[in-house]
Amino acid sequence: MDVSNLLLKQLLEELEEGVYFTDAQRTITFWNKGAERISGYSRREVMGKKCSENILIHIDSQGQPLCSGDCPLAKTLADRLVRQADVFLHHKDGHRIPVRMRAFPILDENQQVSGAAELFIDSTLKLDLQTRLQELQQMAMIDHLTGIANRRIIENYLWSRMEELRRSGWPFGIIFFDIDDFKALNDRYSHRIGDGALKMTAQSLQANIRSIDQVGRWGGEEFIVILGNASMAILKTVAEKLRLLVEKSVFWGKGKPISVTLSGGATLARPEDSIQSLIERADQLMYQSKKAGKNQVRFY
């Protein structure tokens, strides 16, 4: 496909979806504005590089790397089949974003594979998320460092969920996360690096919860995720997914890759709970995770 065609370029640049082309060796030859917006990487930073160099560092839901392993685009180059997959790309700022991608073969005039195209779209409900964030900002309930809900709105949200549980029996659960060895991170690098870790963690959590869930910063390096309509199975699945995605997130600070892990405690709410008793139970479970070796979640 000849992307030098002006009209084609204009059409591709207007797409909300990210689009990039590679040659047969997986060297990136085109990168549209949608790809820049979703990934954070500019065209200048990726053109001429191979996607196998782990630019987007795609991983699957099990945390397995795809760009250097089971790459859908590489398979499409090999067998010409169109593929679709739900994966998690690595944003330039460090956090993980769920995307739905499709890979297409590009054929030359002799019907030989000359490259491939990948189209990817942010899987999060962006419009809903933007609306929610605007409402939170209007009520001065955003944590200004991380951009997610602060403790005040989390307390209000918990109160509403407790009333629904007592009145209508609608179940919910919470996950209490704490960044492991956060003080050591600040002491070794700087508070600026610590702030970067907080932002990366917050955005990885925010981008990967369901539309009926809520995440907020409880204080310091502590975060709470509130899961609506939750069972213990849902609680375990979501908690482990979020823990894994944060572990696999990374950002650069002082020329070094910085990553963190989370210890967590997760529990379902009970009608006799108060907000305090619910938080304390999850907090104690989190400390059990710390004592057991960190980077894990304990469940009640």
Neighbours of 279 (CB within 10 A): 21
Say yes or no: 63 and 101 in one domain: yes
Token output for 207: 């981008």
Q: Which pLDDT does position 6 carry in this prediction?
A: 67
Flag whether 69 is in a domain: yes
- The amino acid that residue 263 corresponds to is S
Say yes or no: 251 and 270 in one domain: yes
The C-alpha atoms of residue 16 and residue 37 are separated, in whole angstroms, by 9
Q: Which of 74, 104, 122 is the last residue of a domain?
A: 122
Say yes or no: 133 and 268 in one domain: yes
- The amino acid that residue 140 corresponds to is A
Flag whether 138 is in a domain: yes
Flag whether 1 is in a domain: no
Say yes or no: 96 and 167 in one domain: no
- Residue of 17, 164, 221, 280 marked active site: 221
The C-alpha atoms of residue 102 and residue 80 are separated, in whole angstroms, by 13
Can you tell me whether residue 161 is helix, strand or coil? helix
Q: Which of 122, 141, 167 is the last residue of a domain?
A: 122
Q: Among this protein's residues, is 221 annotated catalytic?
A: yes
pTM value is: 0.75
Residues of the chain below pLDDT 50: 1-4
- The domain tally of the chain equals 2
Q: Which pLDDT does position 104 carry in this prediction?
A: 92
SS (H, E, C) the chain: CCCCCHHHHHHHHHCCCEEEEEECCCEEEEECHHHHHHHCCCHHHHCCCEHHHCCCCCECCCCCECCCCCCHHHHHHHHCCCEEEEEEEECCCCCEEEEEEEEEEEECCCCCEEEEEEEEEECCCHHHHHHHHHHHHHCCCECCCCCCECHHHHHHHHHHHHHHHHHHCCCEEEEEEEECCHHHHHHHCCHHHHHHHHHHHHHHHHHCCCCCCEEEEEECCEEEEEEECCCHHHHHHHHHHHHHHHHCCCEEECCEEECCCEEEEEEECCCCCCHHHHHHHHHHHHHHHHHCCCCCEEEC
Say yes or no: 292 and 150 in one domain: yes
Strand segments, DSSP code E, in the chain are 18-23, 28-31, 83-90, 96-107, 113-122, 172-179, 214-219, 222-228, 251-253, 256-258, 262-268, 297-299
Say yes or no: 82 and 164 in one domain: no
Domain residues for the domain of 102 are 6-122
Q: Which pLDDT does position 3 carry in this prediction?
A: 46
Say yes or no: 134 and 246 in one domain: yes
Q: 207-225: per-residue pLDDT in tens?
A: 999 989 999 999 999 999 9
At 46, which CATH number? 3.30.450.20
At 280, which CATH number? 3.30.70.270
Say yes or no: 172 and 220 in one domain: yes
Token output for 253: 């600070």
Token output for 247: 């572990």
Q: Which pLDDT does position 123 carry in this prediction?
A: 79
Q: 90-122: per-residue pLDDT in tens?
A: 899 999 989 999 999 998 888 889 999 999 988
Say yes or no: 118 and 142 in one domain: no
Say yes or no: 37 and 158 in one domain: no
Strand segments, DSSP code E, in 24-171 are 28-31, 83-90, 96-107, 113-122
Say yes or no: 148 and 236 in one domain: yes
Say yes or no: 227 and 143 in one domain: yes
Q: Which pLDDT does position 1 carry in this prediction?
A: 46
Q: Which of 122, 146, 178 is the last residue of a domain?
A: 122
219 bridge partner residues: 222
